[in-house]
Amino acid sequence: MRPIQFCFSILVAIAAVTCQAQVTPVVAKQRVTQDTLDAQGNVIKHRETLGIYLRNSSGSTVSKQYSPEGKLRTGQLVDYSRHKIYALSYEKLEAVEEANLTDGPHPEYLANTSTALGEETVNSLSCLVHPVFVKLNGTKRQIGRTYDSAQYGLTVKEDELIEPPGGPRTLLIVELSDIQFVAPDPKDFSLEKFSFLEKHCAACTKQGIAGTVETLK
């Protein structure tokens, strides 16, 4: 799985964690920065993907990514009404089921002060800073942080340093901006025009390295 896909797999676990009965809708811009690093930590390749992030009052979320030319290409739907997670191709109008949702959103995770590393203000929102861990071969290691608004149950920013054996290291940063707490268009959550392809595994696998991502426990 490519680094950017790994990152969005992490987002599945944390981006939509809000109370099902009291979810604050969100419309925001989203920027994904992906830097490939050499052994000295210098950036040897830089990539940015722009998109939008939407969340409705049921807690379902849609992330859409655009090409450098501004064409809508791919996305992900975390759908609590269907209890499914889908990878979306807007170019082909195809939806692939990635995983089942066995539980609803949980805002208490983002408001957990006992696991917080501190507090920071990100894009004018007060955020708790929480660690992100990955478990590989039974060993747990911190790979990044999330910046979570407890007030709105929203991950505003996250960063991860992914270091697969044999390299290269990749620094991923996902950040929301121009955040508006308004209801998105319900059509953005509809799969009526999509064809459904065979389900595939959405386990957090990065360049042949299988691992379990842990965020807020």
Confidence of residue 20 (pLDDT cuts 50, 70, 90): very low
Q: Which of 197, 206, 93, 104 is nearest to 160 (CA)?
A: 206
Mean pLDDT comparison of 80-84, 186-190, 212-216, highest-scoring range: 186-190
Over range 25-54, report the average pLDDT.
94
Q: Is the dihedral of CA 214, 173, 58, 77 positive or negative?
A: negative
Confidence of residue 41 (pLDDT cuts 50, 70, 90): confident
Domain count, the chain: 1
What is the number of helices (H) and of strands (E) in the chain? 2, 15
Determine which of 1-15, 98-112, 175-189 has the lowest per-residue pLDDT on average.
Answer: 1-15
Where residue 7 sits, what CATH number does that domain have?
A: 2.50.20.10
In this structure, how many other beta carbons lie within 10 angstroms of the beta carbon of residue 61?
Answer: 27
The C-alpha atoms of residue 214 and residue 69 are separated, in whole angstroms, by 35
The C-alpha atoms of residue 217 and residue 20 are separated, in whole angstroms, by 19
Residues 6+ apart with CB under 8 A from 99: 12, 84, 85, 202
Residues 6+ apart with CB under 8 A from 183: 25, 56, 57
What does the mean pLDDT of the chain come to? 84
Range of the domain at 108: 3-214
For the segment 61-105, what is each residue's pLDDT rounded down to a tens digit? 999 999 989 999 999 999 999 999 999 999 999 999 999 998 887
Higher pLDDT, 18 or 155: 155
Over range 174-179, report the average pLDDT.
98
Helix (H, G, I), strand (E, B) or coil at 7: helix
Contact status, residue 18 vs residue 185, Cβ threshold 8 Å: no
